[in-house]
Structure 1
Amino acid sequence: MFTKYLMFQSAPLPTIVHSRPAYHATDTTGFDLILPCCNPSHGWMETLVKHYKEVTAELYPVRIQLILVNDGSVKNFEQVHIEWLRKAIPGIIIVSYTENRGKGYAIREGVKHARSRYQIYTDLDFPFGTAVIREVYDHLLAGKDIVAAERGTGYLNVLPRKRKIITRLSRAANKYLLQLKVNDAQAGLKGFNNRGKAILLSTRVDGFLYDSEFIHRAGKQKALSIVPVPVHCREGIAFSSFRFKLLWKELNNYLRIIGKSQG
């Protein structure tokens, strides 16, 4: 039987609006699929269900626990959407809070409610398709601690000019300043086991640079196995723009990461 309950805590801790009885993770349990979102576009629910069904079909009979995190949306995420998703995807876990905190914060909140041995997160619109989810999961089953998507040079060719410049600068900083083991830390698809999970939960950056902090912290653990997986954007992906205020905030986050790496 599915249960619906609320957890009232001091702000800005999340509220779980729908869940199901917990089960114990085993080698055959599968994984948690964590999707953060903020102000999703019109029709996002139907698209989510479509992609979720593709993933479950691709990995059948692997058990997949979907965890959706609403990062303070002010539009297109209301009770009617929650009820619709509950019927469309029985057992879905929805974590929701009112203040927009950033993608890194949202991912950590989703991971805190994980129930499986492995976790995989990606963006709500599955920008790299669904087949790559199996590849990530297979690497985890093979014993890798962290699996990170890595976009090639072809990705830059489809980016708007402003975003292309930002991406090039980010990659250069990751390579030469942080010396990350993954060339493209900002690709929004990663998987990990309990060892990787502990490192992700130790990150502090709330914005999109949490990825760099995650891979940077993981890279300091020589015993950890980190493997990149090449990905390509599927057709029809719309790229969001960055506000100057957000870029300035993330620059400060980058300086914090660099400072810690040299400390």
Structure 2
Amino acid sequence: MTSFDLVLPCYNPIPGWATNLLASVTRLREALPEAEPHIILVNDGSAQGVSAANIEELRRALPQFTYVDYALNQGKGHALRTGVQHCKHPLCLFTDIDFPYEETSMAQLFRVLAAGQTDVAAGIRDSNYYSHVPPARVAISRTLRFLTKQLLHLPVSDTQCGLKGFNDAGKALFLSSQTKRYLFDLEFLYMSARQPGLRVQPVEVRLKEGVVFSKMPLGVLSSEGYSLLKILLRG
């Protein structure tokens, strides 16, 4: 059976997250019987929510499991790069710890990579996504899509979908990215579009029913605006 790496960043997760993770992995196995995930959980300096009992539960239940933690919160981009450094297999996927996208979508994205059709598979959210998020996040998402298309000319306009995957070529490029927080996806796809010979393919994915996204604080918006400016200037 083929194995692949699945990296999950974790920061102050809600109660029940470990049980949900195991249930999601079970559904993923059912949707993808030909492959076994190696779960890489990265605790990005959580102040609460992650206990020794949680980690022991996961170690007992998962045949392939790696746990990485550090004391100071660094941001999702940093957490994912840290997790990818612990990958053991040629193909890697990453998503959020609450598995917000349907497991069948994760399986589809894996199969595109496994078939050798691309080096980077980037999830793109269908139109139903916007009914699950606050108006402010809708505006941010649509603005980023506009900027991505008009200024960056990327092959994927939906850069912020939290489900992506890559092979070894994409992995090497991902590890060379620098953005620590939310816009790491945009930076990675911006770099991918400028890497000669690197193939990037969008894959439509579906959000699970009942998933609700939180509001984004103004402080985060300002800092990510600065990150966007740095990415544009670097190009």
Instruction: Give me the TM-score of the superposition, normalised by structure 2.
Output: 0.95
SS in 2 for 1:227: strand
Larger radius of gyration: 1
Answering whether residue 110 of structure 2 is matched by residue 137 of structure 1, we say yes
Name the structure where helix makes up a greater proportion of residues.
2
2:71 corresponds in structure 1 to 98
2:225 corresponds in structure 1 to 251
2:196 corresponds in structure 1 to 222
Residue deviations 1:198-247, cap 9 Å, x none? 11001000001000000000000231111101112111102022111111
2:13 corresponds in structure 1 to 40
1:130-209 → structure 2 map (5 Å cutoff): 130-143=103-116, 144-209=118-183
Note the aligned Cα RMSD (angstroms).
1.3
Q: Distance in 2 between matches of 1:232 and 1:94?
A: 28
2:29 corresponds in structure 1 to 56
- Please point out which of 82, 87, 95 is paired with 2:55: 82
Q: Distance in 2 between matches of 1:153 and 1:60?
A: 29
Q: Distance in 2 between matches of 1:81 and 1:260?
A: 41
Listed as ranges, the gaps of 5+ residues in structure 2 are none
Q: Distance in 2 between matches of 1:156 and 1:239?
A: 10
Q: Distance in 1 between matches of 2:178 and 2:2?
A: 29
Q: Distance in 2 between matches of 1:89 and 1:142?
A: 26
* CA spacing shift, 1:237–1:142, aligned 2, 3 Å: same
Q: Distance in 2 between matches of 1:129 and 1:103?
A: 21
- Please point out which of 32, 40, 44 is paired with 1:71: 44
- Residues 108 and 200, structure 1, Cα contact 8 Å, conserved in 2: yes
1:260 corresponds in structure 2 to 234
Q: Distance in 2 between matches of 1:181 and 1:51?
A: 30
Shift of 1:30: 2.4
Q: Distance in 2 between matches of 1:137 and 1:47?
A: 21
Instruction: Give me the TM-score of the superposition, normalised by structure 1.
Output: 0.85
Greater Cα offset, 146-155 or 114-123: 146-155
Which one scores higher on RCO, CA 8 angstroms, separation ≥ 6?
Answer: 2
**Once the two structures are aligned, what percentage of the paired residues are identical?**
38
- Residues 38 and 71, structure 1, Cα contact 8 Å, conserved in 2: yes
SS in 1 for 2:35: coil
Q: Distance in 2 between matches of 1:29 and 1:50?
A: 21
- Residues 29 and 116, structure 1, Cα contact 8 Å, conserved in 2: no
Listed as ranges, the gaps of 5+ residues in structure 1 are 1-27
- Residues 68 and 110, structure 1, Cα contact 8 Å, conserved in 2: yes
Q: Distance in 2 between matches of 1:258 and 1:196?
A: 21
Residue deviations 1:109-145, cap 9 Å, x none? 1100000010000111111111112111111122110
Shift of 1:36: 0.8
Query: Which runs of structure 1 show a deviation greater than 3 angstroms over 4 or more consecutive aligned residues?
Result: none
Shift of 1:102: 0.7
